[in-house]
Structure 1
Amino acid sequence: MNHKFSFEFFPPRDDEAAARLRQTYQRLAALKPEFFSVTFGAGGSTQEKTVETVCDILQHTGIEAAPHLSCIGSRRDGIRAILDDYRQKGVKRIVALRGDLPSGMLATGEFRYANELVEFIRRETGDHFHIEVAAYPEVHPQAANAETDLLNFKRKVDAGADEALTQYFYNADAYFNFVERAHKAGVDIPIMPGIMPITNYSQLARFSEACGAEIPRWVRKQLECYGDDRDAIRAFGLEVVSDLCRRLLEGGVPGLHFYTMNQADTMLALWKNLGLPAPQ
């Protein structure tokens, strides 16, 4: 089976970080990924940096770049202008999300949910964009229950999504169970598992608490033993994530979507551990 691979970045805050990120994606471009994706902050707080990064990736690598597009706090005219701009810049892929409501913002804008954004993109641009949406194997933290969450996911698919990228997880069974339930519900698009490396335990614990991703107890306990020993954390984390990826690949996933944290070394080490084709 031919697997597809993709890598996600967040926009750099300054010129120095932009230079470092350029080195990162140029190194990862040698792995011939399907695409790179670029996030942005709550309420579009880094939208401009997202556009700059996407254009930079297209210019320096020739690999497809997929900007994240959030609808929370947005108006139709604003989203329409962004879509037109992306089309003119040669962008053919978009990650369509609801997004988080920024602190202090009470109104959600003209879109309430991601399926409304997907529907709008399709209505405005036809099949120009390959649309990625989010999926949550361990249930969205704000969903009432697993069944409601699955129905919300199916709405995004029915609205015109081409593919899904999952929140990261460390329990392969959670992913396989979610995919099985999605298929039974009539979902037939590829569901790409999201992979988060383990390099910084306190940061990972904070992220996981916010997004509802479970760190298995045995992994947490082992990481706690290492304290501030970054090398030990990285080595253990590499083995845990490598084992997860092997199980997913052997289980027939369509590919893997890596959350890089803008770091190439960790991704390249994982790539090598999995025995994937050497960089070209």
Structure 2
Amino acid sequence: MTNPLVSFEFFPPKTEAMEETLWASIEKLAPLNPDFVSVTYGAGGSTRERTHRTVRRIIEETHLKPAAHLTCVAASRGEVDEVIRGYWDAGVRHIVALRGDMPDGPGTPYAPHPDGYQNGADLTAGILKIAPFEVSVSAYPERHPDSADWDADLDMLEKKADAGATRAITQFFFDNDLFEAYLERVAKRGITIPVIPGIVPIQSFKQTKRFAAMCGASVPDWLETRFEGLDDDPETRKLVAATVAAEQVKDLMSRGVDRFHFYTMNRADLVYALCHLIGMRPEGDIADAA
């Protein structure tokens, strides 16, 4: 079986120690030659400068292709357009366009900025008016928490595709049947952009369960059973986490999926092990041949 195409997601570090961890992770994962690596953008643009700095360093010090996240919440069109132009000038050619969460955190009702982009579809169109970026957008196999029903959810994905999105990357999920059912819904709608499954190897089960509750992702009982009693046993927990993630990815590959987006949590160990378990091997090194 041919190796899948993978991409990795990181977040901008807050401290010097976190920066060291991030760059050790990037150095470990870079030889796997991902299609791209994305760098997240905090609620309300709260990590704007750190995101930009991380993306710029990836461009300057590695051969990797960075995708910079961008949200439209709590910012005017002018402010967002300034960020878009700044990315282009820095050499970024791929943006992950997201509506974003309110600065007060998930659960706060979304309210677009009166002078800003209204949602992910509006932002996608705005990005492409400025420069010919690749644009990735979000998708939700279990429906976005703000979507009243499946029609509303698919309406938004369709608008993003119509606005020029290159691909959609999903929220993480653990039930592959739900993802397959989602692909069927998308296809029935006539939406043709690729939908890439987002996979999260579980660093901390409690933290992952909390994230899942915030974003509307379900956590199957069998998964909770796998991690039962491992809160204070990190070594066993890592072995179980790598196995669970590899089982999920291999099952998706058996269903014809050949692209994956891995949420790294800025740590390389589980993602590297997962890639190894699905047959990927490193090539070359991180140094830019130029």
Q: For residues 10-159 of structure 1, what are the structure 2 equivalents within 5 Å?
A: 10-103=11-104, 107-109=111-113, 110-125=116-131, 128-159=132-163
Please state whether the residue corresponding to 1:166 is helix, strand or coil.
Answer: strand
RMSD of Structure 2 on Structure 1 (CA):
1.6
User: Aligned residue for 2:215?
Assistant: 211
User: Aligned residue for 1:182?
Assistant: 186
- Return the offset for 1:62: 2.0
Q: Does the CA-based 8 Å contact 2:3-2:278 persist in structure 1?
A: no
CA deviation map 1:254-280 (0-9, x unaligned): 411000000111111111111223443
Please state whether the residue corresponding to 2:192 is helix, strand or coil.
Answer: coil
Please state whether the residue corresponding to 2:273 is helix, strand or coil.
Answer: helix
Q: Quick one: distance in 1 between partners of 2:161 and 2:3?
A: 23
Count of paired positions: 278
Q: For residues 262-273 of structure 1, what are the structure 2 equivalents within 5 Å?
A: 262-273=266-277
Q: Quick one: distance in 1 between partners of 2:20 and 2:237?
A: 27
Aligned-residue identity in percent:
38
- Return the offset for 1:244: 0.5
**TM-score, normalisation: structure 2:** 0.91
Q: Does the CA-based 8 Å contact 1:35-1:63 persist in structure 2?
A: yes
CA deviation map 1:147-202 (0-9, x unaligned): 22111111111111001110011111111111121111111111110010012111
- Return the offset for 1:70: 0.1
Q: Does the CA-based 8 Å contact 2:3-2:279 persist in structure 1?
A: no
Q: CA distance change for structure 1 residues 107 and 174 in 2, over 3 Å: closer, same or farther?
A: closer
Q: Does the CA-based 8 Å contact 1:190-1:254 persist in structure 2?
A: no
Q: Quick one: distance in 2 between partners of 1:44 and 1:57?
A: 20
Please state whether the residue corresponding to 2:219 is helix, strand or coil.
Answer: coil
Q: Quick one: distance in 1 between partners of 2:262 and 2:70?
A: 18
Amino acid at match of 1:149: D
Q: Quick one: distance in 1 between partners of 2:158 and 2:281?
A: 34
Which 5+ residue runs of structure 1 have no aligned equivalent? none
CA deviation map 1:68-112 (0-9, x unaligned): 100011111111111111111110000000000111998521222
